[in-house]
Chain A
């Protein structure tokens, strides 16, 4: 293998960047070069931001979201409806719902979903805390915003079974035609889910 033209520091940076999603060795090299070229406007602020995230960010003890404060800014926001909990698999799902700005309640992040093959059991997820939260008298509804996959829906059914005694309304996201979707291009499963969950119009 030829010796690296850059020093070990740059090589180390490239190796670490290449581990990020969406980046390979070649794009990591380009990113490293861009960082070095824009030392003042990119490299230093990025290093500061990474340092702060590494130092301050932690999971919220209440909902599992990640934030610099505990409880997180969503759990402590006074303007949000404290009676509704939306259950999501990952923090990325929470961010997606927040981008849509369609939900103004509180969240609960499970940290994954049950998977028989990967050996992910209920104990490995943040389910016990959810059940504890749902039994709070203030909670009236739990929305299961799980992925429409076999594992996601298995997790949703499992949670539904374990929340049965909590006396809260349990709902789930609709499955069906996406906005802008054309029937001709949809897969059979989505069309059959859309037909079975049709509603009066």
Chain B
């Protein structure tokens, strides 16, 4: 069994004294693990950092085997992102969410595209928070818990959608939401295609995805949301309140 693809390193775990078990995210193969021989060597350690874009060749005798990767660096994103605390926190959160939520060897090409855009923009603090929220919404969709933000669940209208029902994951318009404001989750306008993104919108978006990730994805696995995500949300919240 063989395949070759480009992908992003999600996690690296030492295996013995010289090798490493690496998890990657690829467009065609989804999240995939493999053994990298010499993965702890001086030559490969800088390449095997979460967030780095690499070219992978996977080889195994049977498809169900762990198999071995041959890795070649394409873009060392991690080194650039290490300089900025928020970008690094977002990188950690995105990689850990993929590791803990995505099933292995299941392709999610759309999620891969969002992940790729997110990593490409992580150096731009004005841009990446909104993409990060979209990444989490995309992750929910990939896992079968996609939100329906196309029309109001109560009235069917497509205008003035302001909230999301925590029960159904469907949008609710302002009029129908009024009696249930304490129970509904705010829907940030940028998730409906509006360009203006404020700090509150980002935090609303993160609360929205957090609720569904927690109740739909991690609750069924008997796990809490990764601490790396909570740390990133806390840091981002502080940064958005005090932009300077």
Give the B-binding residues of A (Cβ under 8 A). Answer: 21-22, 116-117, 119, 121, 148-150, 153-154, 157-158, 160-161, 175, 187-190, 192-193, 196
Contact = CB atoms under 8 A, between A and B. Distances in A.
A128 to B, nearest CB: 17
Contacts of A149: 45, 49
Interface string B84-108: 0100110111011001000000000
A87 to B, nearest CB: 16
Contacts of B13: 117
Contacts of B75: 188
Contacts of A22: 17
A150 B83 contact: no
A116 B228 contact: yes
20 contacts: A116-B93, A116-B227, A117-B11, A117-B96, A148-B82, A149-B49, A150-B91, A154-B89, A154-B92, A160-B85, A161-B85, A187-B76, A189-B49, A189-B73, A189-B76, A189-B80, A193-B79, A193-B82, A193-B83, A196-B83
A117 to B, nearest CB: 5
Interface of B: 11, 13, 17, 43, 45-47, 49-52, 73, 75-76, 78-80, 82-83, 85, 88-89, 91-93, 95-96, 99, 226-228, 231, 235
A189 B52 contact: yes
Given A22-B17, A116-B228, A153-B88, A190 B80 contact: no
B14 to A, nearest CB: 11
Say what secondary structure dominates the interface of chain A.
helix
Contact of A150 (B17, B78, B85): B78
Given A154-B88, A160-B85, A116 B76 contact: no
B11 A157 contact: no
